[in-house]
Amino acid sequence: MKKLLSINTNILFDIITKNIDVGIAIIDKDGYLVYYNKSMGEIEGFDSNEVLNKHIFDLFPSVDMKNSSLFRCLKTGKPIYNDLQSYINKKGKKIYSIITNIPIIEDGEILGVVEFAEDIGKIEKLHKSVNNWLNYPNLNNPDSNADRINHYSFDDFKTCDKSLLDLIEKVKRIASYGSNVLIYGETGTGKEIFAQSIHNISNRRNKPFIAQNCAAIPENLLESILFGTEKGSFTGAITKEGLFEEANGGTLLLDELNTLPAYLQAKLLRVIQEGYVRRVGGREERRVDVRIIATVNENPMELIKSQRFRQDLFFRLSTLYICIPPLRERKDDIFYLADYFINKYSTVFNVPKPKLSKEVSNFFMEYEWKGNVRELINIIEYVMMTVEGDREIRLRHLPIYLLEYLEKENIQKKEIIHSSYSDVVNDFEKEMILNALIRNNWNVTKTARDLNIKRQTLQNKMKKLNINKLK
């Protein structure tokens, strides 16, 4: 049998980096990505084949020489440990990561940098769920200052869509009856705003509102968190109430219920039917009075058909069934919400309020908005950080993943009907030249060679497009 140490180190490296829950990326001395593992892709929204041999400034337009810890590490040759960073990933989502950069140095020469990244959002979600469970007894104390996380009302659900406004009024009229609720809506449509709003206008509004994302907790912990534990039921177990007991008299929001495994769906159904819970490892049945609000991000009928959602549980939960339509089906809301969040972030960032250009407006109308309102918010926040005083939001201000989508779907052809062809071409050409100049440290000769055009041609285009060196 081979000794472990005799195994090829490349094989060991590959096994470790593919399975570790930490993002790992490596750039060479010029800023091009030469390694990118799966966990980094999950954080940033890329596949490795999309980023390898690409320059990081091309992948992340919000990153430059001034704010890039990778380039700071390249320049100084000094490690950077546990640096908190925020940036927009490929999917337009603002992410927060803890970054560590280690220079690769050989014979005194800096050859590149290895970056390690941990997604704060993922860590925080798991920590918050477990920590909330451990501290929920404070909610039963009327003097407690614990956050009941029920701060939303229907006023926070921004829409001008008549069918949605009618739905909100209908829900307001019947929400006080206390029936269980099932909310279906794609990711980012505002399901939790609806859930908290229902609780806040119900007779249970002065009782606990407890939210649990079923997808955020490992399966082996979820049962204990929902139903509680008895000391000795497993190694290290303590006697602890579950979320059903903590929510007694109030409301329990089970977010992303469709991720709940089948055996827990069966146990949940029994609790709803009988009104009793039994802790893990316990024998005693405990009476609970809890209103369940559940959310799913896929069509319930499709979930039932694929046996990911018990039909009997669906019937128990859907006494009040709410379907929030996706943003792409609410065309008026696209511009209503864009204007609302442009106003908001112009105030937050203290910048003049720009307006949507014709080509961006046309694109917004055609775009599929898979991330719905949450995606729109992230896009507007990103744009307001990059518009830099321009009076109009142009295509070049959008996140790179949208520009890639534009090119892939050939939406430019549709826009040309309504806007100047030259404007569209100039926007893309300016963005391409700017990225190449930054990548080559504003060396015109190298940039011309990189773009495969003559140096004089590049200089003429820079003059025509008013491209000046960033200061």
pLDDT tens, residue by residue, 81-93: 888 776 666 666 6
Please answer whether residues 369 and 375 qualify as being in contact, where contact means their C-beta atoms are separated by less than 8 angstroms: yes
CA distance 374 to 381: 11
| Single-letter amino acid code for the residue at 32 | Y
Task: Specify the pLDDT at position 303.
Answer: 94
Q: Going by C-beta distance under 8 Å and a sequence separation of 6 or more, which residues neighbour residue 46?
A: 36, 40, 59, 89, 90
Which residues face 94 on adjacent strands?
88
Q: Going by C-beta distance under 8 Å and a sequence separation of 6 or more, which residues neighbour residue 1?
A: none
CA distance 337 to 134: 38
Task: Specify the pLDDT at position 162.
Answer: 94
- pTM of the complete model: 0.62
Task: Look at 104-113, 203-212, 255-264, 445-454 and tell me which has the smallest mean pLDDT.
Answer: 445-454
Q: What is the DSSP letter of 94?
A: E
- Which is it for strands 33-36 and 355-356: parallel, antiparallel or unpaired? unpaired
CA distance 125 to 45: 18
Domain made up of 4-120: CATH architecture: 2-Layer Sandwich (3.30)
The superfamily (CATH) of domain 148-325 is P-loop containing nucleotide triphosphate hydrolases (3.40.50.300)
Alpha carbon 226 to its chain's center: 25
> The domain 329-464: what is its CATH number?
1.10.8.60
CA distance 437 to 469: 9
Over 60: is that where the pLDDT of 244 sits?
A: yes
Over 60: is that where the pLDDT of 421 sits?
A: no
Task: Specify the pLDDT at position 416.
Answer: 45
| Single-letter amino acid code for the residue at 416 | I
Over 90: is that where the pLDDT of 235 sits?
A: no
226-262 residues labelled b (16+ CB within 10 A) or e (exposed): bbbbbeebeeeeeebbbbbbbbbebbbbbbbbbbbee
Task: Look at 115-124, 127-136, 295-304 and tell me which has the smallest mean pLDDT.
Answer: 127-136
Task: Look at 80-94, 183-197, 206-220 and tell me which has the smallest mean pLDDT.
Answer: 80-94
Query: In degrees, to the nearest 5, what angle opens at C-alpha 30 toward C-alphas 28 and 34?
Result: 30
Question: Which segments of the chain belong to CATH 3.40.50.300?
Answer: 148-325
Question: Which segments of the chain belong to CATH 1.10.8.60?
Answer: 329-464
Q: What is the pLDDT of residues 282-336, one digit of tens each?
A: 889 999 999 999 999 999 999 999 999 999 999 999 999 999 999 999 999 999 9
Per-chain mean pLDDT for the chain: 83
Question: Which segments of the chain belong to CATH 3.30.450.20?
Answer: 4-120
Highest mean pLDDT among 161-175, 206-220, 403-417: 161-175
